[in-house]
Amino acid sequence: MGEATCVTECWWVQLHRVCTRHCVWFGHSEMNLSWISKIQVNQPAVLRRAQQIQARRTVKKEWQAAWLLKAVTFIDLTTLSGDDTYSNIQRLCYKAKYPIREDLLESLNMHDKGITTAAVCVYPARVCDAVKALKAAGCTIPVASVATGFPAGQTHLKTRLEEVKLAVEDGATEIDVVINRTLVLTGQWEALYDEIRQFRKACGKAHLKTILATGELGSLTNVYKASMIAMMAGSDFIKTSTGKETVNATFPVAIVMLRAIRDFFWKTGKKIGFKPAGGIRSAKDSLAWLSLIKEELGDEWLKPELFRIGASALLSDIERQIYHHVTGRYAAYHDLPMC
C-alpha cells in the first residue's frame, strides 16, 4: 500500500472515530452539529489520492466502448444558456433519447438496450418546452430544472422557493437547487440546514439535487460540512458545481464529498446520490469519474439513481470515441451532429 493511500486511510479512520465518539444520528428532521465543528479534512492526503486517480491509464478497445456507453446513461444532458429557445430544447431532448447514432449501436449489438441519457436539465422557464418535446418523442426521460436563483443563489428565499414550486408544477421531476454560499462561509450551519429543508418541502415528490458550488466554499473542510448538512436536510443528491464558477468539478472536492456520502450511509443506511458538474468534457474524463465512483462507493452507486454527470459537451466526445472504435477513424464534424 502506497504512502498516499495510507495517509488517506488514516484521515478517513480519524474522521470515522470522531463521528463515532460523538454518537451522531443523522435524521431528516433534526441534526446534531457538535461533531461537525471538530472535523478537519487532511488536504495533502486528499490531493495525493486525487493524483493517483488522474495518473491511471484508462481501459481500451471494447472495454472502453462498454464503459463509455454506460457513462452516457449517467449524463444529465444540459443547456443553460441565455439564448435557449423551444427549438434547441427540442433538439436537446431528441439527442437525449438518441444519444448515439443507431448504426453505431447496431455495430456494437447495443441497439435494443434502450440507451438514453439519464435526464435533460434546463432553466425553469424552459421546463414546459422540455416536457412537451419529450412527450412528443414518446420518451419518459426525467426533466431536471435548476432553481433557487441559479447560479448565484442570491435572491430572496421566498422567490427561490416559488421558483422551485413553479418548476415542479410545470413538470420537472428533479430540481437542482443552489445553496446560499454565504451561510457556509460564515459558518451558519443551522440556517443552511433550515433553508435546504424548505427546498425539500417545496420539491414535493420531485428529487432534490443540492448544488454546493464547491469552488466558492473556501476549503475542503467546508465542502465536507456542507455535504453533510445537505444530506441531513433531505437532499437526494449532492452536486459539486453550477458549471458557472471559476473552479467546478475537481477530484479533490469529489473525494471529500464521496467520503461524506459514505459516512452518511454508514450512519443511516441511506444512499445519497452524487453529481459532478462543470468542466467534464472528454470521454477520458468520464471514465475517470466512473472509476472514482466504483472505488469510493462501489458498484451499487453506478446507476442513474445514485450517480449523474452534469454536462453539455461530454456526449459529443463520447460519440466520437464510439465512432472511432467502430470505424477505425475519427468522425468529421458533420458526421455526428449535436443539438
Long-range contacts of range 97-101, CB-CB < 8 Å, 24 or more positions apart?
Answer: 97/134, 97/137, 97/139, 97/141, 99/72, 99/75, 99/315, 99/319, 100/69, 100/72, 100/318, 100/319, 100/322, 101/319, 101/323, 101/336
| Average pLDDT over all residues of the chain | 90
Between CA 180 and CA 174 the distance in angstroms is: 19
The count of other CB atoms within 10 Å of the CB of residue 205 is: 6
Between CA 167 and CA 133 the distance in angstroms is: 16
- The catalytically annotated residue of 129, 209, 239, 317 is 239
**Right CATH number for 40-327 from 3.20.20.70, 3.60.150.10, 3.30.70.20, 3.40.50.740?**
3.20.20.70
> Catalytic annotation on 285?
no
> What backbone torsions phi and psi does residue 177 show, to the nearest 5 degrees?
-95, 150
C-alpha cell at 311: 454536462
What is the per-residue pLDDT for 39? 87
Task: Among 21-30, 38-47, 214-223, 327-336, name the most confident range.
Answer: 214-223
Q: Is the pLDDT of residue 15 over 50?
A: no
- The catalytically annotated residue of 95, 209, 225, 275 is 275
> Catalytic annotation on 201?
no
- The catalytically annotated residue of 76, 95, 129, 176 is 176
Q: How confident is the model at residue 43 (pLDDT cuts 50, 70, 90)?
A: very high
Predicted structure pTM score: 0.90
> Catalytic annotation on 275?
yes
Query: What ranges do the domains of the chain cover?
Result: 40-327
Between CA 198 and CA 139 the distance in angstroms is: 31
Q: Which residues contact 23 (CB under 8 A, 6 or more apart)?
A: none
